A and B are shown apart, each in its own frame.
Chain A
Amino acid sequence: MGRKGLGWYHGESRAASAALSQKGVGRNMRDILRRSHREDERDAGAGGDLWVRCSKCKELLYRPEHEQNLWVCSKCKHHFRVAAPDRIHITADPGSFEERDADLPPMDPLHFRSGVRTYREKLEQSAAATGSPEAFLYGLARIDDSPCVLGVIEIEFIGGSMGAIVGEKVTRAIETSIATNLPLILFSSSGGARMQEGVVSLMQMAKTLARLDDLGAASVPFVSVMTDPCYGGVTASFAMLGDVNIGEPGAFIGFAGPRVIEQTTRERLPPGAAQSEFLLSHGMLDLVVPRPEMRTMLARLLRIYAARSTAAYGSGEAFLESRSAPPEKVAVGA
C-alpha cells in the first residue's frame, strides 16, 4: 500500500485487506468482531460459527476468509453491514485512530417512555449489544499516512438514528476538523431520526448543518461516505452535502426508504432503484466505491486535499488573502 507503488492507483480488490493483514491488524479486528455482526450470525444459524450465509445469493462463506474479504460476499459481491469499530479498523492505519468523546453519555431529552420500557433502558440495551454508548464514534486518524478526522455511524445502535448525542458528536467531529484544519470523512448509515427524542432529534439536522457551513467557510474538505442503508434526517442534512459523496455498491440511499415509498405510492420499486448506482447515474453521488478499494480512494482524496495548503492558489492561504482584498485592488488590472 505504498504511495510509490501502483497498488494505491489500481486499487485492486484485495490490496487493502492484504495490506492490513501484513501490518498485523487481522487479529485485533477479529477480537472486535466477536461482539458484532449480528447480521452474519442471524444468517449463519445455530452452530454456524465458522460459516456465514450471504443474505443475497445464499452462498455459504468461510468466516475467516469472509473477514479477509472485508465482509464482501466472494460470490455475488454483496456488501454486508459493518459494525462501526470494524469500519474504523478497515479504514484507518493500524493504531492511528484516537477516539474523541468516547464516553459522552446518552441523553433522554423528552424523558421518553414507550409502553413498559423507558428509553433509558433501550439505550442501555443497545450499548450492551454494540459496545458503544451511542450510535456514533469519531476521532483523529490517518489513512495511508494522511491525517484526517474520521467518524462512523453505528447502524446497529437503534438503527443508527440521529438523536441529540449523535448530532452532538457529528457536530464535534466537524468542529474538530475546523480546529485542526484536517479533512473530515464521515461514514453514514442510518434509518433516520430517533423517535424517542422527538423534535430534538429533528433539530439535529439544523445543528450539524450550522457547523458544516462553518467548515465550508474554513475551507476544510468533507468526504461523505454513505453505506447501506442511509435515509431520512442523516441524508437530508450533512450526509448529502459532502464535497465528495461516495456510496458503497448496492447501498440503499435516499430521503425515504423503499418500504415507505412503496406504501405511499402503492407501486413496486424497479430493481436497483434508490441504490448507489442509481444515485450515481442521477448525479447525487460522485463515486460508487467497492469496500476493498475504499481506503485507497480515501487516501488518494486526502493526498490531493493535503496539498491545498501549499498551493499558490485554490483554497490555500494565498487565495483566502486575495478573497479578503478590497475589490478596487482586483479591478486595477482590468
Chain B
Amino acid sequence: MELEWEGPVRQLDGEIANIRRVNPDDDRIKSLEEDREARLRDLYQELSPWQTVQVARHRDRPYLLDYIKWMFTDFVEVHGDRRFGDDRAILGGPALLDGTPLMVIGHQKGRDTASNLMHNFGMPNPEGYRKAIRLFRHAEKLGLPVLTLVDTPGANPSLPAEERGQAQAIAESIAVMLSLRVPTICVVTGEGGSGGALAIAVADRLAMLQYSILTVASPEAAASILWRDASQAPEAAAVMRITGPELVELGIVDSLIPEPPGGAHRDHAGAARLLREHVLAMLEELRGEDVEDLIRKRHDKYRNIGRP
C-alpha cells in the first residue's frame, strides 16, 4: 500500500536499491540512507489530518494480534459471547505484561481478502461487544486491570446486526465500562470510528498512538452528511479535530504515544515497545487507586465533556 505523498522517500529507496545491486559497499549508500531518514522524519513531523487518516488506516499497521505477539509474555484468547456466537472483529483474553496480569480486548482487522472477511474489516457485530462485556466482568471478578486497543471503522451496519441489537450491545458495553470496578486503559491504535470504537474506549486513561484518529463518523460519512459529498473527506478530516494532538488540546484524550520514525506500519516491534512502555506507565499511575475514587473520577470525567 503506497501513500502518494511518500513519493520522495520511495524515490530514494529506489536509488539506494539500484546502487546496492551494483556494489553493496558503495560509499553513497550511507549518505542516501541518512537523507531518506531525514525526509521521512520531516514528512511525518507535519502530517495533515487527512494524511494521518491514511496512516491510521494503513494495511501494514500493527493490529491487535501483532501488539499481543510483541507485548505480552503470555496470552490466551478466549471465545464467544455465551449467547449467540464468536465475533472475530473483537478479540480478547487474559495476558501477562511484564509479570502483571491484565485483560486485553481489542478490534482486529485483516490484511488480505480472506482475513478481512474473517475479521469483517474490524467491524464488530453485537456478539463482539457482548464478548467484551463478558471479558470486562471476567476482569472485574479477578481484579485484573483492563487494556483495550481500538482500531475499527465502526460497528457493522447490517440487518442481522440490528436484529441482534447492535445499539443495545454498544450502549451496554459503554455502561459496563463506566462502572467497572478495576482500572481501565484504552489506547486508540488506528481508526477510532464512532460508537463502534467508543463501546470499548470509555476508560480511566484514554491514549492515542501518534498517527491514529478518533472520530464521531468516518471523514467520508461526515462529508456526505455535512456537504452531501463523500469526496470532501479530506476537508471533513481537517475541520472535525480527529487527530491525537487536537484531541489532547480539547481535553478529551489524556496522552499521545509516539510511533517509530515514519509510522508504526514500518516497525511493528518498535511500535509495540513504545506502546508497552506507556501502558506500564499508565498502570503504575493507576496502581493503588481506591476503586470508588476511580469510578467517581471516571464518571466525572465523562460527565464534564461538553458541559457549559
B157 to chain A, nearest CB (A): 3
CB pair B306 A197 closer than 8 Å: yes
CB pair A238 B171 closer than 8 Å: yes
- B177 (CB) vs chain A CBs: closest residue: A206
* B175 within 8 A of partner (CB): yes
Contacts of A200 in B (CB 8 A): 250, 252, 305-306
Contacts of A205 in B (CB 8 A): 171, 174, 195, 198
Contacts of A255 in B (CB 8 A): 155, 157, 161-162, 166-167, 170, 195
* A49 within 8 A of partner (CB): no
User: 22 interchain pairs (CB within 8 A)?
Assistant: A114-B226, A114-B227, A167-B306, A196-B226, A197-B306, A201-B216, A202-B198, A205-B195, A206-B202, A206-B305, A209-B174, A210-B302, A212-B175, A213-B299, A237-B171, A239-B171, A241-B168, A255-B167, A256-B161, A256-B162, A260-B157, A264-B158
B160-191, CB under 8 A of A: which get 1 and which 0? 01111111101110110011000000000000
Contacts of A269 in B (CB 8 A): 159
| Interface-facing stretch out of A81-89, A104-112, A137-145, A320-328 | A104-112
Q: In the bound complex, how far is the Cα of B157 from the Cα of A126, in angstroms?
A: 29
- B306 (CB) vs chain A CBs: closest residue: A164
- B197 (CB) vs chain A CBs: closest residue: A202
CB pair B302 A235 closer than 8 Å: no
CB pair A171 B171 closer than 8 Å: no
Contacts of A114 in B (CB 8 A): 226-227, 239
Q: In the bound complex, how far is the Cα of B248 from the Cα of A111, in angstroms?
A: 16
* B308 within 8 A of partner (CB): yes
Binding site for A on B (CB under 8 A): 155, 157-159, 161-168, 170-172, 174-175, 178-179, 194-195, 198-199, 202, 214-217, 222, 225-227, 239-242, 247, 250, 252, 298-299, 302-303, 305-308
A199-B241 in contact given A114-B227, A206-B174, A213-B299 (Cβ < 8 Å) = yes
* A204 within 8 A of partner (CB): yes
A167 to chain B, nearest CB (A): 6
CB pair B164 A112 closer than 8 Å: no
A-B pair count, CB < 8 Å, reads 176
Classify the secondary structure of A's interface with B: helix
CB pair A195 B222 closer than 8 Å: yes
Classify the secondary structure of B's interface with A: helix
CB pair B157 A165 closer than 8 Å: no
* A203 within 8 A of partner (CB): yes
CB pair B308 A282 closer than 8 Å: no
- A214 (CB) vs chain B CBs: closest residue: B299
CB pair A261 B157 closer than 8 Å: yes
A206-B178 in contact given A201-B216, A256-B157, A274-B162 (Cβ < 8 Å) = yes
* A232 within 8 A of partner (CB): yes
Contacts of A210 in B (CB 8 A): 178, 298-299, 302-303
Contacts of A212 in B (CB 8 A): 175
CB pair A110 B194 closer than 8 Å: no
Interface centre among B166, B250, B306 (most CB of A within 10 A): B306
A136 to chain B, nearest CB (A): 13
Which listed residue (B168, B241, B306) contacts A203, Cβ 8 A?
B306
B93 to chain A, nearest CB (A): 25
